[in-house]
Structure 1
């Protein structure tokens, strides 16, 4: 996980020659609490016009997330991928935790589905604050939407602030090497970097929750990578699947595989002294333990399922 400074998203300032606009309420992470979503889009629009809503210091807008973003994604979660969740009792009721998951699928649907799994299965409806790659925040519209739905740059300092505030933070240590790996390498974990996520959890004094995701590997079977085109477009890879780019936009529709997301028993990095976060040997050992735990769980889950599409 890259450790670099990220700017907190600034609130837009009004032009001096423009009419006064409703002012959004800025709250710190600790001040912002889950609010009941408006009962209708009419109520949502009214709150936008009056400015009666909050965003936190990272730009997270829970009202927008709950009312506009999650409902259509939840339909995909429930009807298309038919996600089954196990181990939800391992999500802490109070306090922060770092959820570490495997990454796959060519496009990061796994991160989106995991965020819904956390929110809908946590007794208090906590949102998963995901750490994203810098590329995400450079894409017009997508970058702003990512901020508004609770994502922030994969930065150790910001992750620690969220964790110490009692948030559930999600990280995918394989990065682009995981999400962009070929179909022949499915369910084979890539390197977990240098274990920066372990140091982040230890410094924040929170446990690590290993998360294993089965089903995402088959949604876009990647059989090739057009590297010159990827370089031209500034992308980490340009995938070729049996349906994309042959079928154009239709090839971007993910296959309706049956998913299972498992939240494993906490790995208690919070019991270690914060000083151990600077112990390179400790960090590597714990990172290897998390990786091995996820790999064993994936192997077991894949062996148990009878069909990619029926589970």
Structure 2
């Protein structure tokens, strides 16, 4: 039942006085009429700007409110985890906010081609890999979430070693990532997920600084086969800036074998400066998403044809390599852009 709201006057208002004739201003124009009480007060005495202390208190209050809401949802179980262990609430509330200062203030990531990522449905983003430590994957996931109109979650395919590491392996699962294997890739794509892969693997992030931005071999094309089987488009992605965060000058292979790592890097700051050597250099980053490459022209059975898959793999690799060269040509300095 709809009711009409009634206005109740607490006091009888006096008859309004006749308004004086409008004053002509030297400029020939007239000021806009002031009707509300707040406008009249503002016209008499402008509001003082908010002080820094008030702004800080306001931000602290918002942070406390967000923290309380986060704790409430975690305690009451008001969140969901999918079959891969993806916890979207934890990703958006804790993990991505921790990465934003690194992206916005340190690397100053600039993104282009976001319109090439579909608003819904499956797609496979294929990117170059570099940096000694795989920070490019984190920056890519954050860029897609924050810059895409639908704030899509990018599900990365990562190496087994990532999930074997204490704490980091659990966080990777909760951030939505899974093993870089064909079954998991196909399950994500069939589920309509936006999936990301770095076909260079450890060969990409572990290459020496002298070989920066020269793509390594893209494996056997397993990512293409997964896209063909599911009919998902392939989106080439080029990342510039990641090669300069930890310039790898050498590799201590005996120590790497002892620790069970693919390599033990020597950079200008590590291991000479100890923990301080783990601070990445503030290079300027560019991420560009290219035009999607359709896979619908292939029958699902074509995924078992090595030559067909090699052709598509080579097409994707060449696309990314040419985009890297283009971005590098435009860049004047690795740290100022």
| TM-score over 0.5 for the pair | yes
- In the alignment, structure 1 residue 308 sits paired with structure 2 residue 331: no
Cα distance in 1 for residues equivalent to 2:147 and 2:123: 15
Aligned residues: 274
Q: State the structure with more CA Rg.
A: 2
The structure whose RCO (Cα within 8 Å, separation 6+) is larger is: 1
2:173 matched to which residue of 1?
A: 147
Deviations along 1:212-255, one digit per CA (max 9) or x if unpaired, are 00000011010000000000000000000010000000001000
Among 5, 25, 48, the alignment partner of 2:74 is: 48
- In the alignment, structure 1 residue 198 sits paired with structure 2 residue 224: yes
44-53 or 101-110: which moved more?
44-53
Root-mean-square deviation (CA, aligned residues, Å) is 1.0
- In the alignment, structure 1 residue 78 sits paired with structure 2 residue 79: no
Instruction: List gaps (5 residues or longer) in structure 1.
Output: 1-37
Q: Give SS of 1:198's match.
A: helix
- Give me the TM-score of the superposition, normalised by structure 2: 0.80
Cα distance in 1 for residues equivalent to 2:65 and 2:286: 30
Cα distance in 2 for residues equivalent to 1:237 and 1:48: 38
Q: Give SS of 2:283's match.
A: coil
How far 1:39 sits from its partner (Å)? 6.2
The within-5 A match list for 1:1-311 is 40-311=66-337
- Judging changes above 3 Å, is the alpha-carbon distance between structure 1 residues 285 and 166 closer, same or farther for their aligned structure 2 residues? same
8 Å CA contact 1:201, 1:270 repeated in 2: no
Q: Tell me which stretches of 4 or more aligned residues in structure 1 moved more than 6 Å.
A: none
Cα distance in 2 for residues equivalent to 1:91 and 1:145: 25
Q: Give SS of 1:269's match.
A: coil
Cα distance in 1 for residues equivalent to 2:102 and 2:72: 28
Instruction: List gaps (5 residues or longer) in structure 2.
Output: 1-63
